[in-house]
Structure 1
Amino acid sequence: MLKFLSYSAKQIDALNERIGRITAWLTTLLVLLFCYDVLMRYVFNATNVAIFELEWHLFAIIFLVGAGYTLKHDRHVRVDVLYAKFPPKKKAYINLLGCLLFLLPFCFIIFKGAIPYIQLSWRIGEGSSDAGGLPYRFVIKSFMFLGFALLSLQAISMAFKSLLIIFEENQVEK
């Protein structure tokens, strides 16, 4: 059982690590795109709706797909005033309960609401309503599912690692 938990957590961590590193390159692309947009807007007094939309599409992808990576590296915002001083076993219990009671149910609610939303977008071939905008908005909406799937997987990995800490310490105490 412990080997399964450990192996599964490592596989999920490796997946989110690879995807996070790829996503990091999108951040570089986004910065370059912003620079281009600012240059065009303020130096040449020219704007492009597609460039503007691509900026927020890339930002959405980075935010959604990078959430699992961020959780893996424990970089989400939280109040650490008490948590930072807790021993590992107490942290493991808090992380386990947080995943099971808050994070995974929240991801489930997002899945339940997003699937019909994404399906409708694909069915109608949704694109930008702005002239000159990007035509494939349904693709960007699909990243909601991918992002929350990766976040859910990382929550499962976090829960497994918490269980490992709890079980291993209980075995040592016996």
Structure 2
Amino acid sequence: MQIGPFLETIAARIDVCNEWIGRLVSWVVVLLVAVVFIDVVMRYAANTSFVFTQELEWHLFGFIFLMGAGYTLLYDQHVRVDVVYQRLSERGQAWINVLGCLFFLFPGAILIIYTSFGFAREAFVFMEGSPDPGGIPFRFIIKSCVPLGFLLLLFQGVSMFIRNLGILLTPPCADKEKDVR
């Protein structure tokens, strides 16, 4: 890769950050399974349910989805229509990734961060909670995960962009020399 040590360091640090956050999120998945299990047992065994438990389920799911998006992109496990992409060379895939970042990922993530920041800030200012009696009093926390999750996704997109740009900046003959060795 010919992207330079500075950009490579930035990409590596972003990757480490999203790796760490992804591992944290994986434990939240275990917590979500436990909460859902308890909710189901309470419904069928005790014929009761709590608003707090139901809201906790969707708060945890939202947290997992939002905070895990960067981790998912790190491991290239996001949803992609692979009809053409999988048949392309490494350089062709790099072109798709660079253009996809420039025209879709970056503008989309920036738009969501921009529009959701005020939404989250306002929720914090008013310490927004659930409007339902017995609901979660900390709704502002999940609302703050929207801009934060998309910021992590944007950062991972920057890492992906840097790495794919490095592939494109590597002369094609250098790739063939690597294969021969």
| TM superposition shift of 1:172 | 2.7
C-alpha separation between the residues in 2 aligned to 1:35 and 1:65?
A: 23
Deviations 1:88-146 (A, max 9, x none): 01111110010111001001110111011112111222110000001111111011121
Give the 5 Å matches for 1:1-174: 1-170=3-172, 172=174
In the superposition, the TM-score normalised over structure 2's length comes to: 0.92
Corresponding residue SS for 2:47: coil
- Shift of the 171–164 alpha-carbon distance from structure 1 to 2, 3 Å rule, reads farther
| TM superposition shift of 1:38 | 0.1
C-alpha separation between the residues in 2 aligned to 1:8 and 1:136?
A: 34
Unaligned runs of 5+ in 2: 176-181
Runs of 4 or more, structure 1, over 6 Å off, are none
C-alpha separation between the residues in 2 aligned to 1:15 and 1:169?
A: 30
Q: How many residues align?
A: 173
RMSD over equivalenced CA pairs, Å: 1.3
1:93 partner letter: W
- Contact residue 5 and residue 164 of structure 1 kept, 8 A: no
1:41 partner letter: R
In the superposition, the TM-score normalised over structure 1's length comes to: 0.95
- Contact residue 26 and residue 62 of structure 1 kept, 8 A: yes
1:156 partner letter: V
1:12 partner letter: I
Deviations 1:39-77 (A, max 9, x none): 000111011111111110000000000000001111111
